[in-house]
Amino acid sequence: MASDRAPRAPHEQYRLTDFPVDDAWVRKNNESLAEVRRLQWSAGILGVVVLAAGIGMLLYSDLAAWGWIIAAMAGVFAIGCLAMIGYIPRKMGSMAHTYATSELVPAIVAEVRPRGLTLLSLVDRAVDRSAGTLPALAVRSCEKIPGHDVRVGERVPCVAVVGNRSARGGDNLYQFISPMPVAWATPDAAVLRRLVREIPPGEWETLRQNLDRVGEVSASPTNLLPLD
């Protein structure tokens, strides 16, 4: 089975990046990290609201048994929400580790909007590459990408952040792949130019030829479109 063949560290088969991640730059510019912060705030606010509602129901019931039951259930749910504040960043790991263990992939600016842009990226859904590759197009909406011109066709080196494999992992597929710009991790323009060169020209050409399919990719439930 594919799950039996897959190495314990599949990323060792992939094309990886090698550059120093600037932590201060990441905190200022990385939109993935901003999304994590928003999730933490949402979890914290929801936990506090549910806990307050549970206490309110307990007082409304005049400390009746049913009020205690509701309050206890609300307390358990609130604790779970508050625990997510610490669990989310631990699960994600450090940005330096994410960039170091995620595959270097090409992306181009496919759409430019008044308040953001859309990246179209060429990724591989296969976990174990010894069984073959499964190329696909992926999209990601961004607000900005420092160090790059905001114009259609601009080349943006990214890493492919993967996850959500099927429960048993037997299909050798990543269900979730999101391109994350290297420009969110370093202000060094020389690094960006070097990584553009490290990606084979044929991959950039494949993206250029599929530029008109960005709407098709965006319309897919997972923002992924397999290529034949």
Angle at 169 between CA 164 and CA 173, to 5 degrees: 65
Given a cut of 50, whether residue 1 has pLDDT beyond it is no
Angle at 76 between CA 70 and CA 80, to 5 degrees: 140
Confidence at residue 6, expressed as pLDDT on a 0 to 100 scale? 47
Quick one: what percent of the chain has pLDDT higher than 90? 41
- pTM for this model (two decimals): 0.74
- Mean of pLDDT values over 3-15: 63
Dihedral of alpha carbons 41, 47, 52, 53, sign? positive
In whole angstroms, what is the distance from residue 140 CA to residue 183 CA?
14
138, 121 Cβ separation under 8 angstroms: yes
Confidence at residue 225, expressed as pLDDT on a 0 to 100 scale? 93
**Tokens representing residue 221 in the block:** 């439930």
Q: Phi, psi at residue 227, to the nearest 5°?
A: -100, 140
Given a cut of 90, whether residue 118 has pLDDT beyond it is yes
Q: Phi, psi at residue 37, to the nearest 5°?
A: -60, -40
| DSSP secondary structure, 163-226, as one string | E---SS-TT-B-SEEEEEEGGGT---HHHHHHHHHHS-HHHHHHHHHTGGGHHHHHHSTTSEEE
User: Running DSSP on this structure, what letter comes out for residue 126?
Assistant: B
In whole angstroms, what is the distance from residue 68 CA to residue 155 CA?
59
Confidence at residue 2, expressed as pLDDT on a 0 to 100 scale? 43
